[in-house]
Each structure stands twice: as structure tokens, then as C-alpha cells.
């Protein structure tokens, strides 16, 4: 082999090595995740006061330099106390979104399209005084309409009022875990909360892996995830642990506003009933993948049964 042939082989080897490293880098890109929180129901103070819970959650987010999104039920910030608590989120630079005024189920037969529209606008009238309020809407219980008239009518309404939907990609049942933790602490304020923490973290990791895998299967790519959690005692106690867990698994946190730039959040799946995680809804719209979905999506019953078996 002469020098020219040797250099050619060497060059091809270098290209192959570079391609191999590039492929490895692509495979090891960290999943991205944001924190999005619902309801702002601060009145159910147990174990922590509303102020303590607010400070604990905001403190955890600040310590990790995370800007979250808070989807607020309008009636929860009508009082001076509610406004003051939400002002702390506003002043910390977190996104404030619309979660209707009264948190009704859009899929309920008694809920009309007009009534639901009025409920959303009633919340906007309260929330628009906060400088970090932006026109992102999240459906209560992630129910987006059980008829074509409701689903498409509200989509048209949101577009008219220049709203974007703050979809969830990773749905969870933290709301089902919290009452059992609260009951335990009511019965024994000094009870060990670690088993509840461990169950919570395991549940959230399981759901994250499921929806991340489903996203890659449906879209053929990773997405910037919006994780659903609630303003409850569970996150007042364990928000820092939750963030630390995802970081220890190699996940990267992004701000909620950044996550919402992912094209997946503009999707409008043609399914009925509409709603749930946007990833789940897109999978439901795919006839082949839909066969493997769990129905209903995240209703919490299975989580409660798991906790009962563990004595939680």
C-alpha cells in the first residue's frame, strides 16, 4: 500500500469514527422536561401552611434555575391572600396560564360550549392583572370535549382569543397520591413520609418513561416534555426530590415557555373524546398504536390500588 492509498484509508477510517461518534451523541441526547403545575388550590393547607407550601415549591424551582408554568383556577385567586401567593410566582418569573374559573369537566353532558367559554373568560379577567400571565390554556382534567361541536367549537374560540393550549405530554396521578398522604398525616402528624416520597418518585419515573417512549413511537423523535403536577402537599414536600430524581436519570430541565415551542403542542388530534396527554391523544389517533393504549388514560384507580397493597 502506497502513501496515497494509506492516507485514503486513514481518512475513511476517521470519517467512520466521526460518524460513529455522531450517532452515539444522537442516541445519548438527554430527554428534556419542564414543570407545569395545575390549579393553585392553596386553601387545603395540611401539614404545611399555604405560605410554607408556596415557599417550598418556589424555593426548589429557584435552586435548580427552573421557570415553570402555573395554570391557575380563577376562583383560587379572588381573595387578597390568593393574589399575594400567586404574586410570588409572578415576581419569580414563572408563566401564569388560564385553567378556567371554576374547573369544570368540559366532557360533562351538562356543560355547554358557551358556558365553558364564559368560564375561561371569567378566569382571564382575574389573571390578566399579573404581568407574567400569558394566553396559554389548560383544560381541567385534560378533557377537551366529548363531541365534535364542543371540541372544534372551543378550538375555534381559543384561536379567536389568541390562546395556545398548554398541553401535557407526561400525565401523572400525583392528585391521587396526595389524599392518602394527607389522611396519614391527619391521623399521625409525625408519621414517616418517606414511603410516600418513594412511591411518588417511582410513579413519576414510570410515567415519564412511558410517555417519552410513546412520543418517540408516535412522532419518531423526542419532544420537549411538559410534566403535569399539582399545587399540593406532595409537591410542597418533594418537589426538590422530584427534580433531583430526573437529573440523576440524565434528564435535562428546560423552562416551560421553551418546552411549549415544540411543534407537538400545536397538534389537534382528530379523536373523541378529545384530551388527555397530547402524546396519548396522538397515539389514539394512530389506529395501529391505539390498540396498545391503556383505557382510560390516567384515572388514578390503579395508583390507589398499588398504594393500598403497600399499606400507604
What are the grid coordinates assigned to 267, written together?
A: 397538534
Model pLDDT, residue 11: 46
Does residue 150 share a domain with residue 6? no
Model confidence pLDDT, tens digit, residues 271-291: 999 999 999 999 999 999 999
Residue 42 sits in the same domain as residue 89 = yes
Q: 1 pLDDT exceeds 70?
A: no
Same-domain status, 36 and 24:
no
Pair (161, 26) in one structural domain = no
**Same domain assignment for residues 90 and 236:** yes
Q: Which domain holds residue 50?
A: 31-309
pLDDT of residue 27: 54
Please give the tally of structural domains in the chain: 2
The answer on 55 and 110 residing in a single domain is yes
- Average pLDDT value for residue range 64-90: 98
Q: Which three cell numbers stand for residue 19?
A: 460518524
Give the integer Cα–Cα distance in Å for 94 and 92: 6
Q: CB atoms < 10 A from the CB of 144, how many?
A: 24
Q: Do 295 and 154 belong to one domain?
A: yes
Digit-coded pLDDT (tens) for 98-141: 999 999 999 999 999 999 999 999 999 999 999 999 999 999 99
Residue 14's pLDDT band (boundaries 50, 70, 90)?
Answer: very low
224-230/164-165 β-pairing:
unpaired
Do 8 and 55 reside in the same domain of the chain? no
CATH code at position 181: 3.20.20.370
Q: What integer pLDDT is reported at residue 15 of this predicted model?
A: 40
Q: Is the pLDDT of residue 5 over 70?
A: no
Percent of the chain whose pLDDT exceeds 70: 91
Distance CA 93, CA 69 (A): 9
Could you read off the pLDDT of 247-275 as tens digits, one per residue? Answer: 999 999 999 999 999 999 999 999 999 99
Same domain, 20 and 108: no
Q: Is the pLDDT of residue 25 over 50?
A: no
Are 216 and 241 within one domain? yes
Query: Per-residue pLDDT tens for 168-192?
Result: 999 999 999 999 999 999 999 999 9
What is the distance between the alpha carbons of residues 54 and 184, in angstroms, rounded to a whole number? 21
pLDDT at 29: 85
Listed residue (157, 164, 160, 159) closest to 135, CA to CA: 164
What confidence tens digit (pLDDT) does each residue in 131-166 have? 999 999 999 999 999 999 999 999 999 999 999 999
User: Taking a C-beta distance cutoff of 8 angstroms, is the pair 108, 58 a contact?
Assistant: no
Of 81, 67, 232, nearest to 134 by C-alpha is 67
The pLDDT of residue 9 is above 70: no
> What DSSP designation does 230 have?
E
**Could you report the per-residue pLDDT of 39-61, keeping only the tens digit for each?**
999 999 999 999 999 999 999 99
Asked if residue 225 and residue 214 are part of one domain, the reply reads yes
Q: What is the gyration radius of the CA atoms in the chain, in angstroms?
A: 22
Q: Among candidates 254, 278, 283, which has minimal Cα distance to 268?
A: 278
d(CA 45, CA 184): 14
Bridge partner residues of 165 (DSSP): 137
Same domain, 232 and 303: yes
The residues, ordered by sequence, that sit 6+ positions from 213 with a Cβ below 8 Å of its Cβ are none
Amino acid at each position: 500500500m502506497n502513501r496515497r492509498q494509506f492516507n485514503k484509508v486513514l481518512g475513511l477510517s476517521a470519517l467512520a469514527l466521526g460518524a460513529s461518534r455522531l450517532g452515539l451523541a444522537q442516541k445519548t441526547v438527554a430527554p428534556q422536561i419542564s414543570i407545569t403545575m395545575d390549579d393553585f388550590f392553596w386553601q387545603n393547607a395540611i401539614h404545611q401552611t399555604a405560605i410554607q407550601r408556596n415557599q417550598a415549591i418556589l424555593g426548589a424551582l429557584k435552586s435548580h434555575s427552573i421557570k415553570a408554568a402555573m395554570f391557575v383556577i380563577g376562583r383560587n385567586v379572588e381573595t387578597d391572600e390568593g393574589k399575594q401567593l400567586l404574586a410570588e410566582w409572578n415576581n419569580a418569573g414563572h408563566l401564569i396560564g388560564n385553567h378556567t374559573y371554576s374547573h369544570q369537566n368540559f366532557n360533562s353532558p351538562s356543560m355547554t360550549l358557551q358556558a365553558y367559554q364564559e368560564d375561561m373568560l371569567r378566569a382571564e379577567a382575574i389573571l390578566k392583572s399579573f404581568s407574567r400571565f400569558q394566553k396559554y390554556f389548560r383544560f381541567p382534567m385534560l378533557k377537551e370535549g366529548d363531541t365534535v361541536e364542543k371540541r372544534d367549537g372551543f378550538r375555534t374560540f381559543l384561536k379567536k382569543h389568541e390562546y395556545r393550549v398548554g398541553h401535557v405530554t407526561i400525565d401523572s396521578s400525583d392528585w391521587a397520591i396526595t389524599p392518602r398522604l394527607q389522611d396519614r398525616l391527619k391521623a399521625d402528624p409525625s408519621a414517616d413520609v418517606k414511603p410516600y416520597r418513594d412511591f411518588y418518585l417511582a410513579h413519576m419515573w414510570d410515567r415519564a418513561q412511558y410517555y417519552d417512549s410513546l412520543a418517540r413511537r408516535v412522532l419518531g423523535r423526542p419532544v420537549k416534555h411538559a410534566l403535569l403536577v399539582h399545587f399540593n402537599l406532595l409537591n410542597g414536600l418533594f418537589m426538590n426530590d422530584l427534580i433531583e430524581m430526573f437529573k440523576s436519570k440524565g434528564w435535562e430541565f428546560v423552562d416551560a415557555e421553551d418546552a411549549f415551542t415544540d411543534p407537538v403542542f400545536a397538534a389537534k388530534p382528530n379523536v373523541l373524546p378529545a384530551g388527555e396527554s397530547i402524546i396519548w391523544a396522538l397515539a389514539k389517533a394512530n389506529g395501529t398504536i391505539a390498540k396498545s393504549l391503556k383505557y382510560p388514560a390516567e384515572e388514578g384507580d390503579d395508583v390507589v390500588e398499588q398504594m393500598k397493597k403497600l399499606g400507604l
